[in-house]
Amino acid sequence: MSRACRLFLFLFLPLLLNACNGLIFQPERKHYIEPAQLNIDARDIHFRSSDGIDLHGWFLPAKTRPAHASVLFLHGNAQNISTHIASVYWLPDAGFNVFLFDYRGYGYSEGSPDLEGVQRDFRAALARLRNMEGVDAKRIFIFGQSLGAAIAITGLADLPEREGIQALITEGAFTGYRDIAREALAGFWLTWPFQWPLSFLITDCCRPADAIAGISPIPLLIVHSRDDRIIPFHHAIDLYTAARNPKRLWLFDGYPHIQIFRQPQNRQRLIDYMLRILAKGNPE
């Protein structure tokens, strides 16, 4: 090995390893905005994961009483609920309660994120939602975006108590952590030569593609943009292929990563989907 090559590995390999870890979790502690600043009715919810980590979330009550149902929202890998509230603040106006929370290490939640820990956090958040005042535990939807979709898929597939889960909705989901790490590394000239060896430093456990068949018989809706430059839409097709019925796949054009429900017509389509499930038990 040449001296220049050894120098490159010494100087840059630690940075590349750190970048690999950052592909999964990019938490921020700082809140950029609070619900009151947006005139959003919200309650601070503090609860604890099964290993004793204190977690924080917001409960947004439905504007109608009683609520049609409640939505447990799992956000993506970056920042915290103060930025991701934009994905769900509109649901209370449509008659749905929303509970969005931060995984360990994000926002006001304690600890540091890891894959096993965030699965614990998902189960703790669902248990907390089921026991909240004004929540019908038999009418709950789970909505996950990007990393949150991956956590929701694997978490729900392994969940022993599923009664009351009406459907799982994912947007911008991916097949596996190693899969998406390899694609991300391939997209940058500095890391392109190392995409295969470095991707093996990313865990291949908790793969949504391996777990998604276990969601059935709970209805599954997979939503993705063909123009997603973060998670290519082939991940949605692969997940849909691996899933069992009942399942639906919605593909859209022209939207960046997890931006589909910024448009009113797409929000209404999702609301109609959930209302059909509540009325008939299936989305048809």
Asked if CATH classification 3.30.470.20 holds for the domain at 42-280, the reply, yes or no, is no
pLDDT surpassing 60 at residue 133: yes
pLDDT surpassing 70 at residue 184: no
Residue 177: pLDDT band (50, 70, 90) is confident
On whether the CB atoms of residues 46 and 124 are closer than 8 A, the answer is no
pLDDT digits (tens, 9 = 90+) for 53-91: 999 999 999 999 999 999 999 999 999 999 999 999 999
pLDDT surpassing 90 at residue 19: no
- For the chain, give every domain's residue range: 42-280
Question: pTM of the predicted model, to two decimals?
Answer: 0.90
Mean of per-residue pLDDT scores for the chain: 89
Residue 185: pLDDT band (50, 70, 90) is low
